[in-house]
Amino acid sequence: MKRIALLLTLVAFVLGVVSCGGPVNDAKKTLKLMKNLTTEINKAAEDGKITDKEAEKVNASMKKFKEYSENMEKKYEKNEEAEKQIEEYYEKNKKELDEVQEQFMEALGKLFNCEEGLDKIDLDW
């Protein structure tokens, strides 16, 4: 449960603050990375067993997402104008943002319900 709470906090932060190529482009890239991660998680959890190959793909996607979010945090941490632009982008695209977040959370639920292989996923975020 603590890991899920930590993950939710990270997701909320990442979607609130963003990185390279301008704030709006960074917000778009964040959504894209989350979509990719969601896809990898869904593929891995599909049969309830996570193989080594599936775990590698999920871990690589998670790593990309984590590194990007850390870079965004540093880049925009004291830039109120950038934060405002990001907020405006997400307000304009609220439906897509909500869908991406919902799909991500559903995928995480499937991942944590796998019978085998969850231990292969690097959940140390």
- Residue 114, amino acid: C
Distance in angstroms (rounded) separating the CA atoms of residues 100 and 119: 25
| Contact between 62 and 122 (Cβ < 8 Å) | yes
Domain limits of the chain?
Answer: 21-120
Token pair 């871990």 is found at 59
Q: What's the pLDDT score for residue 17?
A: 44
Backbone angles phi, psi at 73, to 5 degrees: -55, -45
**pTM attached to this predicted model:** 0.79
Per run of 10 residues, the mean pLDDT along the chain (length 125 residues) is 55 50 88 96 96 97 92 87 91 95 96 94 83
Q: What's the pLDDT score for residue 125?
A: 66
Q: What's the pLDDT score for residue 69?
A: 84
52 token code pair: 């080594």
Q: What's the pLDDT score for residue 18?
A: 39
Q: What's the pLDDT score for residue 8?
A: 55
Token pair 């301008």 is found at 22
